[in-house]
Amino acid sequence: MESQEIEVRTGSTAVVHDLTRDAEKFLAGCGGGDGLLHVWVPHATAGLAIIETGAGSDDDLLRAIDDQLPRDSRWRHQHGTSGHGRDHVLPAFLPPYATVPVLGGALTLGTWQSICLVDTNVDNPVRRVRFSLLPG
């Protein structure tokens, strides 16, 4: 298995960060075979999504998260910024992992699909992401 961890700076606002190019760069160094790309975010307050980006879907996702998981005082887990407890619930809805088939060294994503880190935790501006290729 090939594996590599990268650091992603997400900043101080909620973000949908496209990881697709990072994944492609990782795969380019793996020999061009078939397998499964597993993406893992080792954080309790971030998740992964495979969605369209750049046409408003990323903003729609953040708005939907705010609608379904409001950043307010309802959360029992209370430290950090107001409403931070919802950040700890986020990975139950957007898991911290994703798996994508790889054929001939290339991701088999659909036309508009991207692999995205979703980070609503404004208290933690730096994230780690691990790419692992399980060869076929």
Per-residue confidence (pLDDT) for residue 41, from 0 to 100: 98
What predicted TM-score, i.e. pTM, was given to this entire model? Answer: 0.94
Across the chain, which has 136 residues, the per-10-residue mean pLDDT values are: 97 96 97 96 97 94 96 87 91 98 97 97 95 96
Calculated CA dihedral for residues 122, 123, 126, 129, nearest 10 degrees: -80
The DSSP 8-state label assigned to residue 76 in this structure reads S
Per-residue confidence (pLDDT) for residue 77, from 0 to 100: 86
Main-chain dihedrals φ then ψ at residue 29, nearest 5 degrees: -90, 10
Per-residue confidence (pLDDT) for residue 19, from 0 to 100: 98
Residue count (the chain): 136
Burial of 20 (0-12, 13-18, 19+ CB in 10 A): middle
Q: Computed over its alpha carbons, how large is the radius of gyration of the chain?
A: 16
